[in-house]
């Protein structure tokens, strides 16, 4: 039996906002359509999404994002609810179910947490449910400090033995494809993304069950 393709989509909330800093219905609808199409084509999909702080600040009618780690954690606690509601509302249009999963990076190092996270994520995938994953900002500040959730995407890819990480860009029809075999980062079109199995086969994906098969965070961002 052919191995099903498993992919992590990394979403930075800024790519889904309109010019007023609010969630764009067009962009959210577009993303939901892409996710539903991938699911329907047999791709097992996991979403690693930022946005809790932005949506929390909006819910609290704040004029700007909070400053200071503690303030950001509190606002993120409000925004987590807003984030999963937003995803589910748009997924409803495509008869797709989302599940909220909050993780911290020590899930890699602590055996029981590691096992529980793997079991939960794999059971959700087996039921064709899309996990929407974010850092548990109330107890962890890693993603808040670096303002990037690629390290969390790496962890999710490791937990689920994902074949690729997909990064959305400011252009709705272009995506970055980061493969487990450490090959160069590919930029692909929406059409290529929706044919993900063929795309991976065409660039000769080599599966490696080690998280180090993906580019590390500093390689990805270009930080020295």
Cα 131 to Cα 45, 117, 146, 212, distances in angstroms: 8, 11, 23, 23
pLDDT digits (tens, 9 = 90+) for 160-203: 999 889 988 777 678 888 887 766 778 888 888 888 877 777 76
| CATH number of residue 24's parent domain | 3.40.1160.10
pLDDT digits (tens, 9 = 90+) for 150-160: 888 989 998 99
Tell me if 20 is assigned to some domain.
Answer: yes
Tell me if 155 is assigned to some domain.
Answer: yes
**Domain boundaries, position 63:** 6-221
Of 76, 37, 45, nearest to 195 (Cα)?
Answer: 37
- Ranges 15-24, 85-94, 198-207: which has the least confidence: 198-207
Is residue 186 within 8 A of residue 204, CB to CB? The reply is no
pTM of full prediction above 0.75: yes
Q: Is the pLDDT of residue 79 over 70?
A: yes
Contacts 24+ apart (CB under 8 A), 168-174: 168/9, 168/10, 168/11, 168/12, 168/15, 168/31, 169/15, 170/15, 172/27, 172/30
Distance linking the first and last C-alpha atoms of the chain: 43
For 181, the 3-state DSSP assignment is: coil
- Interatomic CA distance for residues 205 and 186, integer angstroms: 12
Tell me if 34 is assigned to some domain.
Answer: yes
Report the alpha-carbon angle 13-219-178, nearest 5: 60
User: What percent of the chain is modeled with pLDDT above 70?
Assistant: 84
DSSP H stretches of helix in 128-188 = 142-146, 150-160
- Out of 29-38, 100-109, 118-127, the most confident range is 118-127
Tell me if 1 is assigned to some domain.
Answer: no
Structure letter (DSSP) for residue 161: T
- Interatomic CA distance for residues 173 and 193, integer angstroms: 9
Q: Which two tokens stand for residue 176?
A: 């970055």
Cα 34 to Cα 56, 151, 221, distances in angstroms: 25, 23, 25
Q: Is the pLDDT of residue 84 over 60?
A: yes
Domain count, the chain: 1
């Amino acid at each position: 039996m052919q191995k099903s393709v498993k992919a992590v989509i990394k979403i930075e909330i800024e790519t889904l906002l309109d010019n007023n800093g609010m969630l764009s219905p067009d962009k959210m609808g577009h993303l939901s359509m892409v996710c539903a199409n991938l699911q329907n084509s047999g791709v097992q999909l996991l979403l690693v999404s930022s946005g809790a702080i932005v949506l929390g600040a909006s819910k609290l009618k704040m004029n700007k994002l909070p400053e200071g780690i503690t303030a950001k954690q509190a606002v993120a606690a409000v925004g987590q609810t807003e984030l999963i509601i937003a995803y589910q509302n748009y997924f409803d249009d495509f008869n797709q179910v989302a599940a909220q999963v909050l993780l911290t990076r020590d899930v890699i190092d602590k055996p029981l947490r590691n096992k529980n996270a793997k079991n939960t994520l794999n059971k959700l995938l087996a039921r064709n449910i899309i996990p929407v994953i974010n850092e548990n900002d109330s107890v962890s500040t890693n993603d808040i400090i670096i303002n990037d959730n690629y390290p969390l995407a790496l962890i999710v890819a490791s937990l689920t033995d994902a074949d690729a990480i997909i990064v959305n860009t400011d252009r709705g029809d272009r995506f970055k494809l980061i493969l487990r075999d450490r090959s160069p980062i590919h930029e692909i079109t929406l059409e290529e993304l929706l044919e993900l199995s063929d795309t991976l086969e065409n660039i000769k994906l080599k599966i490696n069950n080690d998280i180090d098969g993906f580019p590390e965070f500093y390689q990805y961002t270009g930080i020295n």
